[in-house]
Structure 1
Amino acid sequence: MIRIALADDHAIIRDGIRALLSGEDDLQVVAEASNGRQLLALLPTVAVDVVLLDINMPDMDGYETLQRLRNDYPQVHVLMLSMLSHEEYINRMLEAGAMGYVLKNVGKAEMHFAIRTVAEGRQFLCTELGIELLHKLCSRGEKAPVEGEKKATCTLSRRETEVLRLIGEGFTTSEIAEKLFTSKRTIETHRQNIIDKTQVRNTAALIKFAVTQGLL
């Protein structure tokens, strides 16, 4: 069971996340707070594995809260949840110790996958941000290797290559499952296998790898 604490100053967002997580036997919301100070006051009284943490909150914001969490509760993994998509915010939070960063418009299946990934101590970046950061990298002059350049050794199955192509096109886990006539859990498994085989840490790195190695 993954025990989750929500920290967001909007009750409607917390209610929405609860609804997204309902029905998942291994995910349970055990605490809620409207700011970082409230969250830190709750943590000594309840066991938490993952904190879903907003950035812009009154009294104590997400950045200060994240720093306190890393110092006082290093065993708790933090997944940032925000509408801020600028890479400055993403880099700042990841460098401060967050294990992942997702936008508030993320789909149900990707939210589940993000929480499970972060709970295992692995980094996660939602697909929309991965695509956006990849476009920025490409616009700065990074490009796929020309024909004849040596590619990294990486053997993906036909279905894994299909899943990777669809991830690169920006489709969500649910949309990929629908297109390939399979379950979301199967797509999550393929996605994790791809990450393991390519030895990247998150979606942005995965897509960059796929482009630079000519897999997309």
Structure 2
Amino acid sequence: MIRILLTDDHAILRDGIRALLAREPDMEVVGEATNGQAMLELLAYTPTDVVLMDVNMPVLDGFAAMPALREQFPQVRVLALSMLDHENYVHRMMEAGALGYVLKNADINEITYAIRTVAAGREFLCTEIGLNLLRRVVQRPAETTLGTLPVSKRPDTAVELSGRELEVLRLIAEGFTNQEIADQLFTSKRTIETHRQNIIEKTQAKNTAALIRYAMTQGLIE
């Protein structure tokens, strides 16, 4: 039996995952935590095989929690479950000691497979992230060629944005605030702030005006 500790600050997500994992005969959710600090406290008296952990959390996030987790509970395997799909986040979590990384939009079959893989001591990277990394590797020769051109002659090239990031970008360009975007997309303001930060990092835009310019040059808005 794989004993799993869910760590995520969204109760509705924890409830959903718990209900789905309850159908798996070889898995048991032994506890829930709302942040990294609560997770560490719970691990002290809760035998656990795999921590299914969000990256972006209040109090103590996934990045900050990893060193203490690895030091205090080296036998516990960590599978990051996050909306953050940029390779920098993936690299940081894996470097910190997580054995796997899966996106929250993955289906339950991929999540359960990831849990079993990590529980067995093997690394796992979800399909969407793996394909995105492969695309970047394939595109790298072209990017290297562009790097030899003067900046003024470089064409505007599209970066890899997820479907939800494109939605957020369009609404930012239309002048909506983070809270207004959250209301329209039926999510939290903090989730929108995370998407916005991801967009800024990917497009390397310095401000909202630069984001709008990017959206226009890529034909996302008129």
CA distance in 2, matches of 1:47, 1:119: 13
For 1:38-187, what aligned pairs fall within 5 Å after superposition?
A: 38-141=38-141
**1:3 is paired with a residue of what secondary structure?**
strand
Query: Of the two structures, which has the highest relative contact order with CA contacts closer than 8 Å and spacing of 6 or more?
Result: 1
Q: TM-score, normalised by structure 2?
A: 0.63
For 1:14-25, what aligned pairs fall within 5 Å after superposition?
A: 14-25=14-25
Q: TM-score, normalised by structure 1?
A: 0.64
Identical amino acids, percent of aligned pairs: 58
Give the RMSD, CA atoms, in angstroms.
1.0
CA deviations 1:141-196 (Å, max 9, x no partner) are 29xxxxxxxxxxxxxxxxxxxxxxxxxxxxxxxxxxxxxxxxxxxxxxxxxxxxxx
For residue 67 of structure 1, report the CA deviation from its aligned partner. 1.4
**1:13 is paired with a residue of what secondary structure?**
helix
**2:74 is paired with a residue of what secondary structure?**
coil
CA deviations 1:56-102 (Å, max 9, x no partner) are 11111111111111111000000001000000000011011000000
Aligned residue identity for 2:125: L
Aligned residue identity for 1:115: I
**2:66 is paired with a residue of what secondary structure?**
helix
Aligned position for 1:196: none
CA deviations 1:10-42 (Å, max 9, x no partner) are 001101111221211101100100001111111
Q: Which has the larger radius of gyration?
A: 2
CA distance in 1, matches of 2:16, 2:105: 11
Count how many residue pairs are aligned between Structure 1 and Structure 2.
142
Q: Which one is further off, 123-132 or 17-26?
A: 17-26
Q: Is there any run of 5+ residues in structure 1 with no aligned partner, and where?
A: 143-216
Aligned position for 1:2: 2
Q: Is there any run of 5+ residues in structure 2 with no aligned partner, and where?
A: 143-222
CA distance in 2, matches of 1:47, 1:54: 20
